[in-house]
Chains A and B, each alone.
Chain A
Amino acid sequence: MMAAASSSDSDSGKAESNDASSKWLDAHYDPMANIHTFSACLALADLHGDGEYKLVVGDLGPGGQQSRLKVFKGLRVLTESPLPALPAAAATFLIDQHEPRTPALAFASGPCVYVYKNLRPYFKFSLPQLPTNTLEQDLWNQAKEDQIDPLTLKEMLEGIREKADVPLSVQSLRFLQLERSEMEAFVNQHKSKAIRRQTVITTMTTLKKNLADEDAVSCLVLGTENKELLVLDPEAFTILAKMSLPSIPVFLEVSGQFDVEFRLAAACRNGNVYILRRDSKCPKYCIELSAQPVGLVRVNKVLVVGSTQDSLHGFTYKGKKLWTVQMPAAILTMNLLEQSSRGLQAVMAGLANGEVRIYRDKALLDIIRTPDAVTSLCFGRYGREDNTLIITTRGGGLIIKILKRTAVFVEGGGEVGPPPAQATKLSVPRKTRLYVDQTLREREAGTAMHRTFQTDLYLLRLRTARTYVQALESSLNPVSVTAREPLKLHAVVQGLGPTFKLTLHLQNTSTARPVLGLLVCFLYNEALYALPRAFFKVPLLVPGLSYPLETFVESLSDKGISDIIKVLVLREGQSAPLLSAHINMPVSEGLAAA
């Protein structure tokens, strides 16, 4: 364990940048920033078209309650406004070709996408409603005309829930949860409303429409709880394409352009990654992971998936596994690091131990240590600086780091040579003169030693057997050996005196046979101790349970004398005890002794 820890430290030591030669400048650290979010809800964009990039945060609020939209400019909050529901994802994208090219901001929350332009609400897109069950519809129609009472309605809805392939609406599901007394009121209140079934957006990303340029128009790609992927038109917000998945998507990664050719990778809750092409309505390839995905990032042509087993896996777009890297701690978040000036694309992984590790394929490029566990990461242009890394921590802190202009990422992980555990000396004890003399003696008088030892061993065996038989005859042992009566007994004394609490723990150790008709009897010196009940019956002993049977022992002697109390467990009608225990009573420290 120790060796493993130290070896992982040493391999990180090469790539890690210490203070003097660090690749990063510490621009800002605010532990009290109170930002609770994850990587999907962070976005960097030039919202006002003035060349100054702002940071957009969909903040979940400290307890996941008051979700807010926060926009940071430089080191301070520019605007803050409440969001109608918890945000699932944030994205910035250009929706039209008009000048100035100010990107729109999209927040997915619940069944809606809220689009902001110039930080003002601009458009609200709602997911189309899903088809409802006709049987369910009929039932509610009957309830509306009072042809059906709430109890039958409930029974019939339950029948639909069991069998039907179209799930029930939220309204029916809530009705099924109610107590009988609340049903009547609920039906009266809701029967006139039409039943609706809506789904929820789980993830969102953007896809370039027909140009690969940085300032090209993009489409929104939405993943829904209904196992569907939707591609939206950037201007009209109509659905351009609809794809279905076998499971619920949680992470999306796209490449290409919508009108030409694109590839969509969706990591789902069932632990699979599905890959879709332009014309496919269903997944073309499937990557099965051994654990749930925690992040999905595309680096050049490789899909990097982080799993809950603390590892990063690289896959091709055809689902072939390329490599696996093990992390020292759980991965909390992942994102892409793209340094366009040097053409570098790498994946960043925020770990539970407060590290941010940067990998290009399998090679570890850098480690950033932060004071708290990292929950979200974002790399890009912020303010006027191209290579800025934004980190938020679990405690709500905000860390901004700027990559130095001169920094070059090199693969420093080439650790060669033996592991450090080999350098530690084995603790072999030293031999003294005494040992050497002893071996000399053994060499000279070996025969005598052997004979004497064998004789002693015979005697030892004899004495052990004698004592054992004696104990069996008088049933002195606290664990019964006979197969017929498997029992176990131990006694505990508590207290300082003069009154002690004596607890016997009696247990039936058989597999499936209860023991009936046992008695317990205490033998003690009546001049020294007083027991209220020195003889009592034991309840039926169920196999496996430990029965605590307690009595109170009062010390009578005022001279501080202690004695032995014997406990005998007997069977009714037999005089030989089954088990016994001897309890050495402690010296009474109470008033009687003083």
Chain B
Amino acid sequence: MGLLDRLSRLLGLKKKEVHVLCLGLDNSGKTTIINKLKPSNAQSQDIVPTIGFSIEKFKSSSLSFTVFDMSGQGRYRNLWEHYYKDGQAIIFVIDSSDRLRMVVAKEELDTLLNHPDIKHRRIPILFFANKMDLRDAVTSVKVSQLLCLENIKDKPWHICASDAIKGEGLQEGVDWLQENTLQSDPGCEDMKR
């Protein structure tokens, strides 16, 4: 197995694997985004609210992503922190049309950033200001303002406006994620060590 692995990597057939956490409130579109990033023959047709979490895989041009698609419902949110250690990158999805719960998203983001497993690691965070197609959606600039993203100083982050049903804006985000995951920590080392 090990020999085969090394061989395939040498030949450029097997891509480097990255673990990604997909977080966000319930009904923000996490599963839909992950689904849309998969190859078209592997996409599922109907998306139902995630129970607990699910593990999905998708590939970009040079990386193979393993995504922990977490449930965002209030009662499952305490599961998130069990997977923080494994994450090499974070995708945080926000429902841009749910202005009411933007404060809840900010609260969850703040607890995420202050968690000991996350706080001292320079892991890239990709934000999706999702559901841009809806009538009362706010812009990605406004979302980053409401979530006070400018206060994140020690981690690379990027925000994309997206429409997960059509797939608009997703590729831009994945490209950024690939670039930053490669350069930030090739071996997923903690900054402290």
Interface residue ranges, A against B (CB under 8 Å): 25-28, 51, 74-76, 341, 382-386, 400, 402, 404-406
Most B-side CB within 10 Å, residue of A76, A385, A406: A385
Asked whether any CB of chain A lies closer than 8 Å to the CB of B107, the reply is: yes
Given A74-B98, A74-B136, A76-B136: A405 and B103 within 8 A (CB)?
A: no
Q: Which residue of B lies closest to A404 (CB)?
A: B107
User: Which residue of the partner chain B has the closest CB to A26?
Assistant: B103
Chain B residue, CB-CB nearest to A401: B103
Given A25-B107, A74-B136, A406-B111: A383 touches B75 (CB 8 Å cut-off): no
Chain B nearest CB, measured from A21 CB (Å): 13
Q: Which chain A residues border B182 with CB–CB below 8 Å?
A: none
Tell me which of B74, B78, B100, B108 contacts A386 (CB under 8 A).
Answer: B74
A to B CB contacts below 8 Å, 12 in the list: A25-B106, A26-B103, A27-B100, A51-B27, A74-B97, A382-B100, A383-B98, A383-B100, A384-B26, A384-B98, A385-B104, A405-B77
Which positions 74-103 of chain B face chain A at CB distance < 8 Å?
A: 74-75, 77-78, 97-103
CB contacts (< 8 Å) of A51 on chain B: these are: 27
Tell which of B25, B75, B97, B104 touches A25, judged by Cβ atoms closer than 8 Å. Answer: B104
Report yes or no: A341 in contact with B100, Cβ–Cβ below 8 A.
Answer: no
* A402 with B104: CB separation less than 8 A: yes
Give chain A's interface secondary structure class.
strand
Report yes or no: A405 in contact with B74, Cβ–Cβ below 8 A: yes
* B100 x A25 contact (CB < 8 A): no
Q: Is the CB of A74 within 8 A of B100?
A: yes
* Chain A contacts for B106, CB-based, 8 A: 25
Do A75 and B99 have beta carbons less than 8 Å apart?
yes
B-side contacts of A74, CB under 8 Å:
97-100, 136
A305 to B111, CA, bound (A): 39
Chain B min CB distance to A35 (Å): 16
Contact with A along B137-161 (1 / 0, CB 8 A): 0000000000000000000000000
How distant is the Cα of A256 from the Cα of B101 in the complex, in angstroms? 34
Q: Tell me, rounded to whole Å, the shortest Cβ–Cβ distance linking A77 to chain B.
A: 12
Once the chains bind, are A384 and B27 in contact (CB under 8 Å)?
A: yes
Known: A74-B136, A384-B26, A384-B27. A400 touches B77 (CB 8 A): no
Given known contacts A74-B136, A386-B74, A402 and B27 CB-to-CB distance under 8 angstroms: no
Of chain B, the residue at the smallest CB distance from A384 is B27
A573 to chain B, nearest CB (A): 92
For the complex with contacts A76-B136, A384-B98, A384-B101, 13 further pairs of A-B residues with Cβ separation under 8 Å are A25-B104, A25-B106, A26-B103, A27-B103, A74-B98, A74-B136, A341-B75, A385-B101, A385-B104, A402-B103, A404-B107, A405-B78, A405-B104
CB neighbours (8 Å) of B27 from chain A are 51, 384
Interface set, chain B 108-154, CB cutoff 8 A to A: 108, 111, 136
Least distance between B74 CB and chain A CB atoms (Å): 6
In angstroms, how far is the closest chain A Cβ from the Cβ of B151? 15
List of B residues within 8 angstroms of A383 by Cβ: 98, 100-101
**Shortest CB distance A277–B (Å):** 37
Residue of chain A at shortest CB distance from B25: A384
Q: Which residues of A contact B26 (CB under 8 A)?
A: 384
Determine the distance from Cα of A28 to Cα of B98 in the docked complex, in whole angstroms: 12
Please tell me if the beta carbons of B107 and A75 are within 8 angstroms of each other in the complex: no
Chain B positions within 8 Å of A26 at CB level: 103
Q: Is the CB of B101 within 8 A of A27?
A: yes
* Nearest residue, chain B, Cβ from A28: B100
- Please determine whether A25 and B103 come into contact, CB atoms closer than 8 angstroms: yes
User: CB-CB < 8 A to A25: which residues of B?
Assistant: 103-104, 106-107
A27 to B136, CA, bound (A): 16
CA distance in complex: A341, B73 (Å): 12
Q: How far is the CB of A28 from chain B (nearest CB, A)?
A: 6
Q: Which B residues touch A341, using CB under 8 A?
A: 74-75
Contacts of B100 in A (CB 8 A): 27-28, 74-75, 382-383, 385, 400, 402
Cα A247 to Cα B97 with chains together (Å): 49
Contacts of B108 in A (CB 8 A): 405
With a cutoff of 8 Å between Cβ atoms, the chain A residues found around residue B99 in the complex are 28, 74-75
Closest B residue to A387 using CB positions: B74
Give Cα A51 to B107, complex, Å: 22
Complexed CA–CA distance, A402 and B104 (Å)? 8
> Once bound together, how far apart are the Cα atoms of A341 and B106, in whole Å?
21
Q: Which residues of B contact A382 (CB under 8 A)?
A: 100
Residues of A within 8 A of B111 (CB): 406
CB distance from B161 to the nearest CB of A (A): 19
B109 to A: closest C-beta gap in Å: 12
- With CB as the reference atom, state the residue of chain A lying closest to B49: A51
Chain B residue contacts of A406, Cβ below 8 A? 111
Q: In whole angstroms, how far apart are the Cα atoms of A74 and B102 in the complex? A: 11
A51 shortest CB reach to chain B, Å: 8
